[in-house]
Amino acid sequence: MSDEGETRRDESFDGEEELLGGPPPAPDPYTPEPGPGPGEAQAFNVMRLAWIAIAVVVIAIVLYAIFG
């Protein structure tokens, strides 16, 4: 070896895998979907309409409580 600080990368020691805990774990297999599907987009649009209906009912209850 030409330099003391230099280490050999191809060197292997007996029992090395036992010390390191074996091979590295596989990468995470989860990959998220690119976006909502057509059914999900439609469901969220309907949910927005439901919030409008709920808001109208809440406003009606508040107005009835004030003026009723």
pLDDT along the chain (68 residues), means of 10: 55 61 75 83 90 96 95
Q: Is the pTM of this model over 0.75?
A: no
- The CA-atom distances, in angstroms, between 60 and each of 52, 55, 64, 67 are 12, 9, 6, 10
d(CA 56, CA 64): 12
Alpha-carbon span 45 to 42, nearest angstrom: 5
